[in-house]
Amino acid sequence: MKPVVPVAVLILVSVLADACVVSDEIEFSLRRNQPPQFVSADPPVEGVNYAENNTLTEFVVTVWDPDDDDFSRYEGRITLIEQLSSSVQLKDTFSCSEPVRGDASSFDGGVVVTVNCAITMRAVSDDASNLIVMMELSDRGYDAGDETPDGARTLQVMWVYEIFAQNLL
């Protein structure tokens, strides 16, 4: 009797061995979207700022993002929040200018992003009015309805302003 089974097993093993390729060049991508880090703001965010009614005010925020490829998707928006009473707020949101890429040589990779927003400060009442200015940057832009897309990382900067309805000088 001839050993048929061992030959069939050898043929099966050799076929399977040819179909299986083992490589030491396996790459895994564990990369996650990292949040932007605050670098600077102008005007400074500390303390209360003052402005006259209907004056154009410029806000500039600079962040560092460790993900260099996020730059092309950055978008900024600015929101004015006016507290009229303990329960009533007025909110207006505006888009900002296109982001500008800055020098990231002092950081460990990544990208420096600067966003500029110019808005007209306004008061509703005749007396001084408190206003909160909030600037938000998203590394994935915004969807319709101003929602941040899944996976987006944002950074918010806030200023407190007292707006004078009349020129006091």
Q: Say if 79 falls within a structural domain.
A: yes
pLDDT band at 15 (very low <50, low <70, confident <90, very high): low
pLDDT band at 127 (very low <50, low <70, confident <90, very high): low
Q: Say if 10 falls within a structural domain.
A: no
Q: Mean pLDDT over residues 8-32, rounded?
A: 57
Count CB neighbours of 128 within 10 A: 16
Q: Say if 169 falls within a structural domain.
A: no
CATH code, domain with 68? 2.60.40.10
Query: Number of structural domains, the chain?
Result: 1
Q: Which residues lie below 8 Å from residue 39, measured CB to CB, with a gap of 6+?
A: 62, 63, 64, 112
pLDDT at 119: 87
Cα distance between residue 8 and residue 87, in whole Å: 83
Q: Say if 51 falls within a structural domain.
A: yes
Question: Which range of residues forms the domain containing residue 147?
Answer: 33-164
pLDDT at 2: 58
Q: Mean pLDDT over residues 85-99, rounded?
A: 76
Q: Say if 77 falls within a structural domain.
A: yes
Q: Say if 11 falls within a structural domain.
A: no
Q: Mean pLDDT over residues 121-137, rounded?
A: 77
Q: Say if 8 falls within a structural domain.
A: no
Residues 118 and 51: beta-carbon distance below 8 Å: no
Q: Say if 135 falls within a structural domain.
A: yes
Taking 80 as the threshold, does the pLDDT of residue 126 lie above it?
no
pLDDT at 168: 43
Q: Decide which of 7 and 40 is more confident.
A: 40
pLDDT at 163: 81
